[in-house]
A and B are shown apart, each in its own frame.
Chain A
Amino acid sequence: DGGITQSPKYLFRKEGQNVTLSCEQNLNHDAMYWYRQDPGQGLRLIYYSQIVNDFQKGDIAEGYSVSREKKESFPLTVTSAQKNPTAFYLCASSISGSRHVILGYTFGSGTRLTVV
């Protein structure tokens, strides 16, 4: 079955360390997205990519970096520059383009990152 997989489910990071969250999809979707979720804040867009080797900053990109070397993969690195990284991170994918966005996104099951 096709789907989108995030790993790990739980991640602990020491202050000052970079950490990378994995997101892999086998839905043949062109577009992929990273969201951050904090209690009561809804979903905030960090980065998105509409095509391989191209990505754009979302609303809260500072302190994060991404790469899109393969269609299936869109890893997110939380750098030491992110001052408050403890949050629930969600990856999503979709068919690209304005005609297909109405079909919605498929989300992964999330990674909970805690800074210790």
Chain B
Amino acid sequence: GQQLNQSPQSMFIQEGEDVSMNCTSSSIFNTWLWYKQDPGEGPVLLIALYKAGELTSNGRLTAQFGITRKDSFLNISASIPSDVGIYFCAGPPPYSGAGSYQLTFGKGTKLSVIP
């Protein structure tokens, strides 16, 4: 099936630093979704991207839909301790039969913030 590759797998940063992570696919995606999972909780949708080249912000978070439609990027500026968690990218892969209306998820980037 379709796979989304997220990098880095994990990162440790100092509070106040900016963070960048990305998600890539071998296939074209028409929608990119970014979720955050707080420790011990379920993922929550942060940002949705629907157009190639689109740049969308949500507070200190900014996400971009890659021009090639095979990648997406998430940036967090001026990190704070509550940014800790796992960030997942997701998207519906191109139609390929039954079940293709489901989301494919990346394996996540685990972010740790050192105060």
Contacts and interface: CB of A to CB of B under 8 A. Distances in A.
Contacts, number: 56
A106 B33 CA distance: 12
A102 to B, nearest CB: 4
| Most A C-beta atoms less than 10 A away, residue of B33, B42, B43 | B42
A115 to B, nearest CB: 18
A97 interface: yes
Interface stretch (A35-43, A61-69, A75-83): A35-43
A56 B99 contact: yes
A33 B106 CA distance: 17
Contact of A109 (B41, B105, B108): B41
A108 interface: yes
Interface of A: 6, 33, 40-43, 45, 48, 56, 90, 92, 96-98, 101-110, 112
19 contacts: A6-B42, A33-B102, A40-B107, A42-B88, A42-B106, A48-B102, A56-B99, A97-B101, A98-B100, A98-B101, A101-B92, A101-B103, A102-B50, A104-B45, A104-B90, A104-B103, A105-B45, A107-B42, A112-B40
Q: Which 3 A-B pairs have the closest CB atoms?
A: A107-B42, A42-B107, A98-B101
Interface of B: 9, 30-31, 33, 35, 40-45, 48, 50, 88, 90, 92, 95, 99-103, 105-108
Given A102-B31, A110-B42, 7 more contacts: A42-B107, A43-B88, A56-B99, A98-B100, A104-B35, A107-B44, A112-B40
